[in-house]
Amino acid sequence: MILAFDPCSEYRRHQHEIDSAIARVLNSGQVILGPEGACFEEEFAAYVGARYGVGVKSGTDALIVALRALGIGADDEVLTVANTAVPTVAAIRATGAIPRFVDVDPVTLLMDADHLQAAISSQTRCVVAVHLYGNPLDMQQIKAIAAPRGVPIVADCAQAHGAQFGGRHVGPDADIGCYSFYPTKNLGGFGDAGLCTTDDARLAAQMRRIRMYGFDGDRVAQCEGLCSRLDELQAAMLRVKLRHLDKVLLVRRRLAERYTHSLSESDFVLPATTPGGRHAYHQYVVRTSQRTTLMEELQRAQIGYGIHYPVPVHLMPAYAWLGYRPGDLPVTERAAEEVLSLPLHVGLSENEIRDVASVLRGAVQAVT
């Protein structure tokens, strides 16, 4: 059996450090907004090269807090992609704003700058750009379109811890970078957690207010806020895992290279890295017109897999009221029919990668 994700492997690897981090918090008596959270904010911001980090309760909340700090609210138009996890869009809606979708590039499956250029208008209040699968988007291209109009950019980096563009981590290249530490992520907690990064002191202060009822340290709401704090236990465990993140990324990239090597002679479309970027391989996503057959073979061989994502957000029932129809975003819609995420986590061996690749190659040969 090969798992798509193994939640225990990293815990087992760093059990002693994680157990003592938990004990440290429990013995301190400070479980919300204490020193662990403050240190993690500083350490994570330093890791990605941002001036400020603001811990929140989840990646979804990071997006909501970021958008609200930028003043995005009811009926504001926010441009984003439909080839993403639902929370990107759910977060936009949680502010009352209206998401409008632009299609993705057929090679990278990330926001297509030409489509963004065509869609942006005087109505647009924000762009939420997604570094999907750990592949970095070229933010300079996005900025060149948004900045002259004064439109801020929020980067959804939920899948992109460790992804780099032009030698720098993604996140700080947007007005606000939003991270999720959901357990499956490259840097995953043991529960929900999230964080926003920014270089702007004013935005950082506003995000700190919003995450805690709008307080400014005075129990008086200065703005309408939420309850979205990063708790000390998650922060303490994430501090341990952050120290090992570079090793995790090394393993993920090595395993991804192994897939690429083993599948290079096949008919699959293998994941592309944006030119100038360094992929963090949160997912290793191949594209194939024979997905159903492959899924059956993987199930038979007891190999886990994922589909990210089977239905693009603009065609989900929850968002039907936005008025999109099949055919509106052709590249996104085709991707939804073809993408298949292969198992990729630090608990996997190179032999297991070879086994997965050989099951896939065998399944394709049987069909052709």
DSSP letters for 255-312 = HHHHHHHHHTTSSSBPPPPPTTEE---S-EEEE-TTHHHHHHHHHHTTB--B-S-SS-
If the CB atoms of residues 237 and 263 are measured against ligand PLP, the closer one turns out to be: 237
Quote the least distance from Cβ 160 to ligand PLP, whole Å.
8
**Residue 355 C-alpha from the chain's centroid:** 28
Tokens of 29: 């008596």
If the CB atoms of residues 175 and 297 are measured against ligand PLP, the closer one turns out to be: 175
Quote the least distance from Cβ 41 to ligand PLP, whole Å.
16
**Spatial separation of the C-alpha atoms in residues 274 and 235, rounded to whole Å:** 31
**Spatial separation of the C-alpha atoms in residues 219 and 191, rounded to whole Å:** 28
**Spatial separation of the C-alpha atoms in residues 309 and 84, rounded to whole Å:** 7
If the CB atoms of residues 103 and 297 are measured against ligand PLP, the closer one turns out to be: 103
Question: Which among 46, 47, 48, 66 has a CA at the least distance from the CA of 56?
Answer: 66
Residue nearest to ligand PLP (CB): 59
Q: Which residues bind ligand PLP (CB under 6 A)?
A: 58-60, 84-85, 87-88, 130, 156, 158-159, 180, 182, 192, 194
**Spatial separation of the C-alpha atoms in residues 41 and 35, rounded to whole Å:** 10
Quote the least distance from Cβ 171 to ligand PLP, whole Å.
13
Quote the least distance from Cβ 130 to ligand PLP, whole Å.
5
**Spatial separation of the C-alpha atoms in residues 278 and 178, rounded to whole Å:** 18
Q: Are 209 and 65 in contact (CB under 8 A)?
A: no
If the CB atoms of residues 97 and 158 are measured against ligand PLP, the closer one turns out to be: 158
Quote the least distance from Cβ 211 to ligand PLP, whole Å.
14
Tokens of 95: 């502010």
Quote the least distance from Cβ 214 to ligand PLP, whole Å.
21
If the CB atoms of residues 177 and 360 are measured against ligand PLP, the closer one turns out to be: 177
If the CB atoms of residues 44 and 182 are measured against ligand PLP, the closer one turns out to be: 182
